[in-house]
Every structure is written in C-alpha cells, then in structure tokens.
C-alpha cells in the first residue's frame, strides 16, 4: 500500500485480493481499456479510488450479463458515476431477491400440493423451472435498462428535414398518447396534456432529453415510413404506434377543458378507493396500470403497504382538483394520517400516473 498525498494507492496484488478479483482479470480489464492504473518508477501498477470505483462499475455490469466488449463500448470516454453504480447494484440485488422470493413461493406451494397427495402437473414443473432459474442473465432487467438510460448522451448534428418525418401523434397499447412536433429547426415531444420538451439527436433515429433521463427512438416499417417510436425511461421501454393526429388533438383538447373546469374523471373516486385497498393488501392490480407504472408499483408495493398500515383505516376521500398536467388530486383522511393522492387514466382506462404524499 502506498500513500500519495491523502490518497491511498494499492498494488495489483492488494487490489485484486481486497476486491475479490484475480491479477489476470485486472490485466484483462486494462487490455480492454477499461482501467488505466498509475505506474511507479519501476512500472508497478497502482490502483486508487478512481480505479476501484471503475472496477465496481465493471463488476456490476458483468453481473447483469454484459460482455467485456459491450462494457468497453458503453464506458468508452465516460467517467465513473458512483451514484449510478450504486443504483445499478441496488436494483440488480433487489431483482435477484425478488426472483428468489418468487421461487420460494412456488416451491412452498408445490410442496404443499405434493403433501396433499396431488401429483405435480407439467405446468407446475414448468413454473418451477422458470422461477428457480437464478442463473439467467439479468441484461434485460430493469436494473440494466435504468443504468443504460441514465448514462450521459452526446448530441450530434443531423439533417433537420428528418424532423418532418418524425412529427405526428403516437399511442401505446394501453392508451398513452404523445405528440412529436418541430419548429425553428428544433424537435419536441410531449405527453398529451403536458408541455413540450425538446429532444436532441444522438443519431438520425435516436433522441434524448436533457431535462430528464429519457430517450426516444423512431422506427421505420418495411415501406421506410416512420411507423412507431420507443420511449425509454425509468428502466422501461414502451412502444407507441403512429395514429391520427387530429383525433389525438381532440382528446388533448378534452383534457385541457377538464383542467379548466376542474372536473374529475367519471367514477374517479371508485378507481382511487380500489387502488388504496389493493395497496393496503400489498396486491396492486398491475393489469389496470400502464406497463411502466406497473414496474414501479411492483417495486414500491411493500413501502406503500407499510405506510398505509401506519395510516390506519380510510375514513374519507375528497376531490381536490385537477393538476396542470391532468392528474386528479384527492385528499384522503385516514385514522392516523392525511395523504394526498394523484392519478391519471389513459383514454382506454388504464392508470398511467399515480403518486401519494403525506400532508400536514
């Protein structure tokens, strides 16, 4: 171990043994350009906090199934972001824990069934194999997608004439509507009822937001016309297909009118009561949510259930108003707490947005 000012530097042997790698692995990562250890006058390699942080990043990416070639391409020219590494490692471990819990549930149910004298069916065994396969790579999990979506983007110059091909209205299968528009050589995207957000090209078909870690990819059909876009955010990828712009604008006008009138959606209170009851049981109905919201609801159901247990029995719900982005806001009075809830429905009836927060 060497001291350099206030920084502690480790030899290759010290670094490898303390982090749980082989010296050969350190050399391999260096060969791929992933780390660049400092050298002593005798050419001994030294590893400081920056190199160790990068090693953590490499190990986290390997754990979700990326090859060294993929990792090299992803990290080339990028500095290590410890916050993102921690988020990736947390999400990956949470995913592993959730899969283990699901596997244990399947095993216990099958054990009970066999003890009762009922033989295991083919479906039972297929489910068992799927839910207990802990060696399956995690590359397509939420953890990986969140990490990839959070990485820095580089804006490039493309032909602004392409923007006219991308402009139009798009709809996901669950009914979330968006509008892409362009003006003055700039291109924008917005969810219906919300404000335009400028998007910036990183290739001729891939765009990103600077205000949020969101990316949009435009895709062409066999006729070379733009037929759909993919929306990348919060570890989820949603696909939206091109639809009639005038119809979407009519729906947007209706949303804006409801905001001006401060009018709740029909049977909105019933919808929210069901949501609260489901979360209190720890069983949110994910089929009634957009896929992106369902991912978040599944992750946060334990936390929300705990908060609702503390709050006690629901006593009263009162409509508070409609937000500027079209969410219905309610005040919920519980035995021991007051909680504000907000939600939005797509025009197909799916819950697309949901939040709650404690109020005084």
pLDDT in tens, 2-13: 555 567 888 999
The predicted pLDDT at position 137 comes to: 47
Nearest to 153 by CA among 196, 207, 216, 229: 207
Instruction: Give yes or no for a contact between 151 and 74, defined as CB atoms under 8 angstroms apart.
Output: yes
Output the DSSP codes for 22-86: -HHHHHHHHHTTS---EE-TT--EEE-HHHHHHHHHHHHHHHTT--HHHHHHHHTT----HHHHH
249-258 mean pLDDT: 95
pLDDT in tens, 310-332: 999 999 999 999 999 999 999 99
The pTM assigned to this predicted structure is: 0.65
The predicted pLDDT at position 328 comes to: 97
Instruction: Give yes or no for a contact between 298 and 242, defined as CB atoms under 8 angstroms apart.
Output: no
pLDDT in tens, 107-157: 888 888 888 888 878 777 777 676 666 445 444 566 777 777 888 889 999
Q: In the structure encoding, which two tokens stand for residue 57, read together?
A: 């990043």
Strand partners, 239: 230
Low-confidence winner among 114-128, 249-263, 326-340 (lowest mean pLDDT): 114-128
Q: In the structure encoding, which two tokens stand for residue 244, read together?
A: 């009639």
């Amino acid at each position: 171990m060497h001291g350099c000012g206030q920084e502690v530097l480790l030899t290759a042997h010290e670094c490898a043994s303390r982090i749980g790698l082989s010296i050969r692995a350190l050399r391999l990562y260096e060969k791929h350009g992933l780390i660049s250890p400092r050298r002593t006058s005798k050419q001994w390699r030294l590893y400081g906090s920056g190199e160790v942080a990068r090693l953590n990043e490499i190990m986290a990416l390997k754990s979700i199934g990326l090859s060294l070639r993929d990792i090299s391409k992803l990290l080339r020219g990028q500095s290590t972001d410890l916050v993102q590494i921690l988020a990736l490692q947390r999400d990956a471990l949470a995913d592993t824990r959730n899969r283990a819990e699901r596997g244990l549930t399947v095993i216990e149910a099958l054990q009970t069934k066999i003890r009762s004298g009922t033989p295991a069916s083919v479906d039972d065994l297929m489910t068992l194999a799927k839910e207990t396969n802990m060696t399956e790579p995690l590359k397509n999990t939420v953890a990986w997608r969140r990490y990839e979506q959070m990485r820095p983007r580089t804006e490039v110059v493309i032909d602004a004439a392409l923007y006219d091909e991308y402009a139009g209205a798009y709809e996901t299968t669950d009914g979330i509507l968006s509008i892409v528009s362009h003006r003055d050589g700039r291109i924008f995207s917005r969810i219906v009822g919300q404000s335009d957000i400028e998007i910036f090209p990183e290739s001729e078909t891939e765009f990103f937001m600077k205000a949020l870690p969101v990316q949009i990819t435009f895709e062409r059909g066999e006729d070379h016309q733009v037929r759909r876009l993919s929306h990348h955010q919060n570890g989820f990828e949603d696909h939206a297909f091109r639809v009639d712009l005038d119809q979407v604008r009519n729906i947007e006008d209706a949303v804006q009118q409801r905001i001006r009138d401060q009018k709740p959606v029909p049977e909105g209170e019933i919808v929210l009561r069901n949501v609260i009851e489901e979360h209190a049981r720890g069983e949110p109905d994910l089929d009634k949510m957009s896929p992106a919201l369902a991912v978040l609801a599944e992750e946060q159901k334990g936390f929300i259930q705990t908060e609702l247990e503390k709050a006690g029995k629901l006593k009263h719900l009162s409509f508070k108003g409609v937000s500027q982005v079209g969410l219905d806001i309610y005040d919920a009075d519980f035995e021991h707490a007051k909680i504000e809830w907000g939600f939005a429905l797509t025009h197909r009836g799916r819950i697309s947005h949901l939040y709650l927060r404690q109020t005084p």
